[in-house]
Amino acid sequence: MSEKTYLYVCTGCGKKKKSPETASKGNGDTLLSKLQDVCQDEENIEVLPIACLSNCDRGVSVAMTAKDKYHWLFAEKGENDDDIEAIVRAAKAHASLHDGFLEKPDRANPVVARIPPIKS
């Protein structure tokens, strides 16, 4: 069975004072709430808050992790339908894969980082 996928949504994004050029296009709290609603019946996806993902100039940032799978960091997300659809599509694909390696069409671009699973 494939491991559960965890989505960490930065709730700091959208709160910190930024210049117009680096301000988040969305609000992390709102994105978290919408993703939790959309994913509430998904047994293999859990959506959790995190205070900061150290990607503050390209927020709203969303990290995707799972045991023994590739980890991903996505940027520039907002609470609009297109971004939510892209994140959920990526999470569903990630949850269904044994290694979490997303093909390009399944990524919630832009991707900031792709981190390999720990080698055991």
Where do contacts with ligand FES occur on this chain (CB under 6 A)? 10, 12-13, 16, 52-56, 59, 61
Q: Which is nearer to ligand FES, 12 or 78 (CB)?
A: 12
Buried b (16+ CB within 10 A) or exposed e, 80-101: eeebbebbbebbbbbbebeebe
**Least distance (Å) from ligand FES to the CB of residue 58?**
8
Q: Which is nearer to ligand FES, 5 or 61 (CB)?
A: 61
The answer to whether the CB of 59 falls within 8 A of the CB of 75 is yes
Q: Which is nearer to ligand FES, 60 or 95 (CB)?
A: 60
The answer to whether the CB of 43 falls within 8 A of the CB of 57 is no
Q: Which amino acid is at 99?
A: D
**Least distance (Å) from ligand FES to the CB of residue 9?**
9
Residue ranges of alpha helices (H) inside 2-117 are 28-38, 81-96
* Closest residue by beta carbon to ligand FES: 12
**Least distance (Å) from ligand FES to the CB of residue 7?**
14
Q: Which is nearer to ligand FES, 40 or 54 (CB)?
A: 54
* Dist. CA 79–CA 48, nearest whole Å: 15
